[in-house]
Structures are given as C-alpha cells and as structure tokens.
Structure 1
Amino acid sequence: MFDGIFSLSLTPAEAQALWLSLKTGLVGTGVALVPGIAVAWLLARGNFRGKFWLDSFVHMPLVLPPVVTGYVLLLVFGHNGPVGNWLETHLGFVLAFNWKGAALASAIMGFPLLVRAVRLAFEAVDPKLEAAARTLGAHRRDVFFSITLPLIMPGIIAGGLLAFARALGEFGATITFVANIPGDTQTLPLALYSALQLPDGEIHAMRFVVLSLVLAAGALAGSEYLARAAQIRIRGRS
C-alpha cells in the first residue's frame, strides 16, 4: 500500500490535477497582485469616505461561505450573468466551467489575504522616508518604485504566498462556479474529493494528499528564499 502511495510516477489524472492546481494558483495570484497592492495602498494611506465599506467588501470572501462566493461568481460571470454574457458575446471569453473561472475564483478567495499582508507592510514604512525623498525633488512615482516598493517587498511576498496557498486549497467556490471536470477544472482538492467518493479510493486520496503536501512545502521554501533575498537587498540599500 505504501509503495503505491509514495510512488514517484504520476498517473495522468494526478498530473492533470497537479498542473491545474499550479496553473490556477499562479494565474489567480498574478491576477490579484497588482489590484491587491493598489487596494492595500489605498486602505493604508487613504483617508476617504467609504473606507470602512471598501475594507469590509475586500474582506467579505473571508467571512462568507465559499459556496456563496462561488454562487455569486456564477450569477455574475456565468453564461447568463451580466458580465459573463457580455464577455462571451463580445470577446468570446468564457469563465464558467473552465480553468479560467477556477483561476478567477482562486484570485477572489486569496485577494483579502494578499491585501491584508501588503497593507501591514505599507503601514510599517515610515512616511518620513517618502516625504524626505519628495522634498529632494523626487516624483511620487519614483519614490514609490525606488523606496516604498523595495521596503514592502517582504509583505508582497508573504501576501502572494498566502494567496497562492489559498488558491491551492480552494474547494467550495471552485466547485460551485466551474464544477468538478477532470482535466479542465479538477484541481487537487477536487480530485481528492472525487477519490474519496470511490469505494476503493483511499490510495488515490492519499496520493493527492502527498502531492498537496509536497506542493505546499515547495511554495513555503520558495517564499522563504524570496523573502531572504528581499531582506538582503533592503540591507544593501540601507
């Protein structure tokens, strides 16, 4: 039994689920990254009417059941939804029931975690450093890219890792929005769920558990390496 669980050769179903998890996780995190940094900056530095409501809206996926989030995505981005129908009619771009929809679900579920980590990084930066650079004639854009962005890079890495990890474990919103289609939307959590429904699926389920553990360990190791590299770069600039 253990030989079957720890075999290094992947079945086609395992390879597809692993590839889909990586693809949807990376694409979803990439989609959320720039908007997440922008929203985090707005919440950290902005002082405007409606800030509380924006903050609440951003963090809504954390407190709502994932199935509710998936159903809302289906209503908005599905074939008959206002946005989904427009995208399909005018651009031929379909989100429901394919991997692109799974990436969108991953991006939305991981977005609050990304925003939270980056917002804390923004709040840790001393505004006097930015003000001093502006008094020396630097443009706001130059100050952001040369001073602020390097200082918040560990927070961006941490937020990206949290969003990616959330994407790897996403189940409820994904299965509601894009279903559980082998080879198209069946990521590792969905493949594990399918294996558990089979009478003799214990070995297959354990294989998916091992794959998930290896993938998570690799993501953590990569994040630690990038965070240390960012810290070394910051110390070199100081």
Structure 2
Amino acid sequence: MAEWLSPEGWQAVCLSLWVAFWAMLCSLPLAVAVAWLLARRDFWGKQLLNGLVHLPLILPPVVTGYVLLLGFGRRGIFGPALADIGIVFSFRWTGAALAAAVMGFPLMVRAIRLSIEAVDLRLEAAARTLGASGIWVFVTVTLPLALPGVLAGAILGFAKALGEFGATITFVSAIPGETQTLPSAIYAALQVPGQDAVAARMVAVSVVLAMGALIASELLARSLSRRIGASHA
C-alpha cells in the first residue's frame, strides 16, 4: 500500500490532513459564535454579516486567495505586523490552513446555525427564569442540544478544507513539503506527461478521504441526536 503513492504523494496527503485539521479547529469557535449571532440575535448589519460569511461560496476561490494575499501576504495590510510577532502565512502551511479555513467557514456556520435555530426557545427561557445568565444558558442548554449540528459543521469544514485548491495556490503557491496539499499535487501531476496514473491514484485517495469525512459526519450526528433525545425523553 505504501508503494501505491510516491513519498511525495503521501507527503501531500499528510499535509492536507494536517492543514484541514488546523483549519477546522481554529475556525470552529468563531463559526459557533457567528452562527449563534445569526440564529438568535437581530441587529443592524445582520444581513451584511450573513453575506460576508457566505461570500467565499460565491466568489471564485482565486479571488478569495488574492484577497488573503492582499491582507496577509508579506507586503499585505496585516502581513508585516503579524511577521513582527512571529506569525507568517505567506508560503507556509499556516497560510494554506488560513485559506482552507476561510473557504470552509460558510459551510460550518450554516450547519451550526440551522442546529441552533432548531433548539426550542422555551428551554432557553426556562433556564433564564431559573437565574442562568445568557452565557450559561448557551453553554448548558443551547450548545449541548445543537452539538450534532456543530459536529456536522466541523466535519463539513474539514472535508471542504481537504479539497481546497484555488484560494490556497493563489495565496501560498504549491511548495512541496510546505504548501503542496493533495489538490495541488494532483494538479501538478496532471501537468507532467505520463503522470495520469499517479494523478488518478491521488484522486482516489481524495475521494476516499472526503467520503469518509462526510459519512463520519452523518453517523456521529445521528448518534449524538439519539443520545440527546434519550437524555431528554
């Protein structure tokens, strides 16, 4: 099995999993907060925020990557200041994770928002009448009941990050061992004559990883839903 892909191919697979994991982990808390705001609060600019959150789904990924380059590149708006404190995104795996997080963020927010909206408001109101603060209501009532959606959103974001290509290659290029994730490795293989079989094997790995993430999301969400339903029966 180890010979099925070249060492460079497995390196791209491992890097993709690493990037997707950190993209999901770092963006999840913000996704939960934004989803709660959109689901439970009415405020000026709500539709604008909703539009900005979902903008990466509508814009070409290359545009998103270019915007990240303008903001977080070495000569970008925030890049030099971040570099002064040791945070560098340009041509680093951290930049690939940032691009993947931005592209997967809308899917995470949407899944979590729908799950929060499905939580009965009367349960939250009952907790408030017992003296619970807003944060405590969220932690003890809303979040546990919305957990299946949070988990589903997290895995959807992870799966999206695994397949991210356009924004990543625009922002951090495709440096082997540093920023060349599985999609960019597939693209690179397709540019070399006689490498179709190599590309096809990497495509197969990509499909297996994505399907595995989606199936795991569905199974875990169903399991959590059953447990939550049983605990409140």
TM-score range, shorter chain: over 0.9
Partner of 1:36: 31
Aligned to 2:78, the other structure's residue is in SS state: helix
Partner of 2:20: 25
> Please, what TM-score do these two structures have when normalized by structure 1?
0.93
Shift of 1:232: 2.9
Shift of 1:196: 0.3
**Contact map agreement 1:150 1:230 (CA 8 A) in 2:** no
**Contact map agreement 1:29 1:163 (CA 8 A) in 2:** yes
1:116 maps onto 2:129 in alignment: no
CA distance in 1, matches of 2:190, 2:79: 32
- Please provide the CA RMSD for this pair: 1.3
Shift of 1:8: 4.6
Partner of 1:4: none
- Percent identity of equivalent pairs: 57
**Contact map agreement 2:39 2:116 (CA 8 A) in 1:** yes
Aligned to 1:82, the other structure's residue is in SS state: coil
Residue identity matched to 1:60:
L
Shift of 1:216: 1.6
> Please, what TM-score do these two structures have when normalized by structure 2?
0.95
Residue identity matched to 2:183:
P
Question: Aligned match of 1:158 in 124, 127, 152?
Answer: 152
CA distance in 1, matches of 2:78, 2:229: 46
Gaps of 5+ in 1: 1-6
Partner of 1:92: 86
1:57 maps onto 2:52 in alignment: yes
**Contact map agreement 2:20 2:158 (CA 8 A) in 1:** yes
Shift of 1:31: 1.3
**Contact map agreement 2:159 2:214 (CA 8 A) in 1:** no
Gaps of 5+ in 2: none
What do the CA deviations read for 1:141-185 (whole angstroms, capped 9, x no partner)?
A: 222122111111111122112211111111110000000111111
**Contact map agreement 2:91 2:172 (CA 8 A) in 1:** yes
Paired positions, count: 231
Shift of 1:135: 0.8
